Amino acid sequence: MSDETLRQDGAGETDGLDRLWTPHRMAYIRGENKPADTSSGACPFCRVPGLDDQEGLVVRRGELAYAVLNLYPYAPGHLMVCPYRHLADYTETTSAEAEEIAALTKQAMTTLRAVSAPDGFNLGMNQGMVAGAGISAHLHQHVVPRWAGDQNFMPIIGRTKTLPELLTQTRALLAAAWVEVS
């Protein structure tokens, strides 16, 4: 493909699973963003806020936490909400951090409902490798929109885009439509 040289940066967790949502494979086959160790220096969730929004797929920046598109989405619009601080466990968050993670999660749901009308969501944090966290050193809450049958969606964007374009456009769409709720 002509855009084979594009490289999508960002944060997320590879899991070795194949997705039915095939555009995603473009980035999947390219990306190995798994950190080498658990230090902040190797952590994509620490690195991404230093990139510009488009490059890092950052959708929304709060004071203490931010929302970012998952580079390896389970569904179109799969976001993660993370504190800026490199901390592993939910109990390590300050009240202010936990509040902002909650607020951004609500805003992400509201925004996704406005943009792509999902029928439901999976929300959650995997705590520890054993619980399925791919990047266990930096807390992140998944916000995964779900549709009945989980058919491919976001027709607004078009179905034949390669993933790098799709993720970039998804990011721009969600950032522009972001709904401020507390």
Q: Show which residues are catalytic.
A: 140
Q: Which is nearer to Zn ion, 18 or 89 (CB)?
A: 89
Q: Which is nearer to Zn ion, 43 or 167 (CB)?
A: 43
Does position 47 interact with Zn ion (CB under 5 A)? The reply is no
Q: Which is nearer to Zn ion, 24 or 138 (CB)?
A: 138
Side-chain-side CA neighbours of 178 within 13 Å: the count stands at: 18
Which range touches Zn ion (CB under 5 A), out of 49-57, 111-119, 126-134, 138-146?
A: 138-146
Instruction: Show Cβ contacts of residue 36 under 8 Å, excluding neighbours closer than 6 positions.
Output: 42
* Contact map string, positions 55 to 84, toward Zn ion, x by CB under 5 A: ------------------------------
**What does the alpha-carbon distance between residue 109 and residue 121 come to, in Å, rounded to a whole number?**
8
Does position 43 interact with Zn ion (CB under 5 A)? The reply is yes
Q: Residue numbers of the site for Zn ion (CB under 5 A)?
A: 43, 45-46, 86, 138
